């Protein structure tokens, strides 16, 4: 007996928990990775100096980078899990728009990025736009 397809959709709270898990893990991963890459300096300069191998080595010897990749991997499998249980038309717009705003907030707090009025406006515009486009 095969599993009936499409299967029953989970409840609203379960769906919210699945999406929140992806948003939290991906935001953590993005911020850690961005912090790692920022600590390296311009990768194009490094490559011009010590070749592609040198650039790869510079990335792979940064512990912060692996912490970031770990959380991005968690986010990736949480996404696969969510896509298997929820409709793409719910997951894609929710994730794309939520992560944009959480990332802007996290970048402001943890990376001390200058998120000026222009970037906040962009975050909101792109957030609504992605929602409309993916809906």
Partner 1 sequence: MSPPSFSCLEERKTCHLSMAHHSLTPRQYLLLGLVAVCAPLGDTCLSRGMTHMSAISLVAPGALIAAVFTPWIASGIALLLAFFASYLTALTWADLTFVLPATAFGNVIVALLSRFWLHESISLERWAGIVLITLGVGFVARGPSLTERTAPRPEAEKVETR
Contact set with partner 1 (CB under 8 A): 2-3, 5, 7, 30-31, 33-34, 37-38, 40-44, 59, 77, 79-81, 83-85, 88, 92, 96, 100, 103-104, 107-108, 111-116, 118-119, 121-126, 128-135
Rounded to a whole number of angstroms, the CA Rg of the chain reads 18
Whose structure tokens read 């379960």? 14
To partner 1, the closest distance from the beta carbon of 79 in angstroms equals 8
To partner 1, the closest distance from the beta carbon of 112 in angstroms equals 7
Closest CA to 29 of 66, 82, 80: 66
Element (DSSP H or E) covering residue 83: helix 63-85
Nearer to partner 1, 23 or 104 (CB): 104
């Amino acid at each position: 007996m095969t599993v009936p397809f499409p299967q029953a959709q989970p409840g609203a709270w379960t769906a919210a928990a699945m999406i929140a898990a992806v948003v939290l893990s991906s935001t953590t991963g993005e911020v850690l990775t961005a912090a790692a890459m920022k600590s390296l300096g311009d990768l194009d300069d490094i490559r011009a100096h010590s070749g592609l191998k040198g650039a790869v080595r510079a990335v792979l010897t940064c512990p912060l980078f692996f912490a970031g990749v770990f959380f991005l991997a968690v986010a990736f499998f949480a996404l696969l899990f969510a896509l298997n249980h929820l409709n793409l038309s719910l997951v894609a717009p929710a994730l794309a728009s939520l992560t944009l705003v959480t990332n802007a907030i996290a970048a402001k707090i943890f990376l001390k990025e200058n998120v000026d009025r222009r970037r906040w406006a962009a975050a909101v515009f792109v957030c609504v736009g992605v929602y409309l486009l993916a809906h």
